[in-house]
Structure 1
Amino acid sequence: MMTLRQIRHFIAVAETGSISAAAQAVFISQSTLTLAIQQLEEEIGVTLFSRHAKGMTLTHQGHQFLRQAHLILATVENAKRSLQQGAEQVAGQLVIGVTSLVAGYYLADLLTRFQRAYPNVDLRVMEDERPYIEHLLVSGEIDIGVLILSNLEDRHALQTEVLTHSPYRLWLPAQHPLLEHDNINLADVACEPLIQLNVDEMGSNAQRIWSRIGLQPKVSLRTASTEAVRSLVAAGLGVSIQPDMTYRPWSLEGDIIEARPIADLTHTLDVGLAWRRGTARPSLVDPFLSVAREQPHPGRRPSI
């Protein structure tokens, strides 16, 4: 697929007449630039340059493509300016409700991208428990929620869209015996001291997982702090089942935390957006949705 980067590189070579001069102009290596030109020629199926000892000159088809290349870049720049001018005219206040786990691991990037795209929108964020965020959404007191959708109750009143499905993995300390297993199952985990995260209804999620297979884990400690879970696991005081979005390979103390899939646990933690169904939604919700959808999230699916 032809890219804007390839087109810019082609123009640089066309204007300088050599790979070495063009590489200096666009600050990339000569080999990378040569490969980009070769891929572009393969993509469009024509030879754009005549190669010779003194450099590179455009073929007849290369001259034709150069005119089109300048038009393509000009069109893109015009589109960018048009969108930026439109974004600057979008103003007002957007009230966002979030739950705590989402606020800690998902929200910052989303808000940063939205504020960059719509700098004149005033963002107000309210963090609370999922049932209260649902209540505020249904009553129209907040505009949109960014939360864990797995436990959503009032699905008739709310429209939702999953942005990411975060699989669960088992956190273990370095050199734990389970790291030697080719496959780890929930039955293996049930024999280990388990550190349970009790925030954002994670305890309820865990209870459903264990009830589904009829096993009772040995919970040695419950905490509302993900960092505490990280430190306790790294110190060898237990293992923990956590959504992948919260994983970091080190504890605050600098100890290693290993993460492994659990073969018979296919359940995911679904994070996404929720807004009031049926009524005309606030005008700033659509721009927020568009920014949220720009980020590639595996397995995203709408719920109607």
Structure 2
Amino acid sequence: MNLKQLRYFCATFETGSTTLAAQRCHVSQSVISAAIAQLEQDLGCRLFERHARGLSPSPDGVNLHRQARALLADADRLTASFRQRACGPRELRLHVHRTLSAGLVRTFVQRWLSISPEVTLTLVGEPEDADASLTTQDCASPAHPFTPLWPEQYMLLLPTNHALQAQAHLSLQHLTDQPLIERVQCERATIWHHQLALSGVRPKVVARVDSEEWALELVASGLGITVAPVGPQPRRNDLIYRDDVAELRLTHRVVGLSPLSPSVSDMLPLLLSHVAAINFGQDQRPDHVRPYNAVARGPLAQSVRAEDS
């Protein structure tokens, strides 16, 4: 067992796919599969269950991920401490796409401050001012590499007392005349409006917001419903998440990290380690392996699962 194998295992656990793990780690899929097979042989247990829909971690896999993440963080911190001596104080200017969860950003900042105090973290509002960007694949600059971290599925979000929560099967037609909280900052807004128009659906817009947190709070208040991307962050108890709307099952996005400055190349392993671990707590599996809240769906997910199976 070595650190590289553990990194490949953690990437597979967190993306739910050897294909996305290979993209994150910049190696071939066969290298990822071989590393996992060697780990399973060394540890004498199965780390993943293989099935037609892809991979899901076994209980041993969940346990290994928790311990491997702690070990990798220690290794990255050790490396960074020696580089700090040679380079002096460092600063990382990070841009975070504004449609990402504020809770995700909070957890990342807390983790960074506690584990990497030798590198000053500054959050900036525009990618042009940043050394790296935590963003979506659609919004990443084609001039810079993009490392996928996790998939997010677009879901219909309802207040807990909404009539549609009892509907067995949902489609966009059910949104007709429904009060809608419109997320104007969404990179898929144009596609979303086109899809509604093609379906002949005209929801009643009761609020237009440019903040994810505003949108979720207004839905929780009962003002209306919304469609939003949902990733591996913990679910709110005051919202109903419907991932079974027929037309939305083909709508997803991939969140990842894009380095924008050559000066941060030596910090990327440490940065990736922090970002990849922030949403997977000690007893929490990624939501994309849970049957009701499956996140990775659609054409990309189907190709990923076909290659993983």
Other-structure match for 1:176: 162
* Pairwise CA distance, 1:200: 4.8
CA contact (8 A) 1:171 1:242 kept: yes
Aligned to 2:237: 249
Higher relative contact order (CA 8 A, sep 6+): 2
Which of 133, 143, 157 in structure 2 is aligned with 1:145? Answer: 133
Contact 1:101 1:199 in 2 (8 A): yes
Change (3 A) 1:114 1:236: closer
Partner of 2:218: 232
Give the 3-state SS of the residue equivalent to 2:246 in structure 1.
coil
Task: Tell me the TM-score normalised to structure 2 length.
Answer: 0.55
Q: 2:156 & 2:72 partners in 1: Cα distance?
A: 46
Q: Partner residue of 2:189?
A: 203
Could you report, residue by residue, the CA deviation over 1:117-170 in whole angstroms, capped at 9, with x for unpaired residues? 433111121024xxxx2xx2xxxx522101233344x32x02112212122222
For residues 164 and 120 of structure 1, what CA distance do their matches in structure 2 show?
A: 27
1:75-134 deviation digits (Å, cap 9, x = unpaired): xxx999876543322332212112223262322223333444433111121024xxxx2x
AA of the residue aligned to 2:111: R
Structure 2 partner of 1:88: 81
AA in 1 matched with 2:173: A
Residues 191-220 of structure 1: CA distance to partner in whole angstroms, max 9, x if unpaired?
412111223546345335435656443323
What residue is the counterpart of 1:108 in the other structure? Answer: 106
Give the equivalent residue in structure 2 for 1:185.
171
Check the 8 A contact 1:143/1:282 in 2, yes or no. Answer: no
- State the secondary structure of the residue aligned to 2:222: coil
Report SS of the residue matched to 1:146: strand
The structural deviation recorded for 1:243 is 2.0
**Distance in 1 between the 2:223 and 2:237 partners?**
17
Residues 128-139 of structure 1: pairs in structure 2 closer than 5 A: 128=126, 133=127, 136=128
Tell me whether 179-188 or 258-267 shows the greater mean CA deviation. 258-267
CA contact (8 A) 2:73 2:273 kept: no
Aligned residues: 208
CA RMSD of superposed structures (Å): 3.6
Does the 8 A contact of 1:143 with 1:285 survive in 2? no
The aligned counterpart of 2:256 is 272
Letter in 2 for 1:229: A
- The Cα of 1:178 is off from its aligned counterpart by 1.4
Cα gap change, 1:85 to 1:281, in 2 (>3 Å): closer
Name 1:36's counterpart in structure 2: none
* Structure 2 unaligned spans of 5+: 1-43, 46-70, 85-89, 281-285, 289-295, 302-309
Structure 1 residue runs without a partner (length 5+): 1-42, 45-77, 251-256
Fraction of identical pairs, as percent: 21
TM-score, length basis structure 1: 0.56
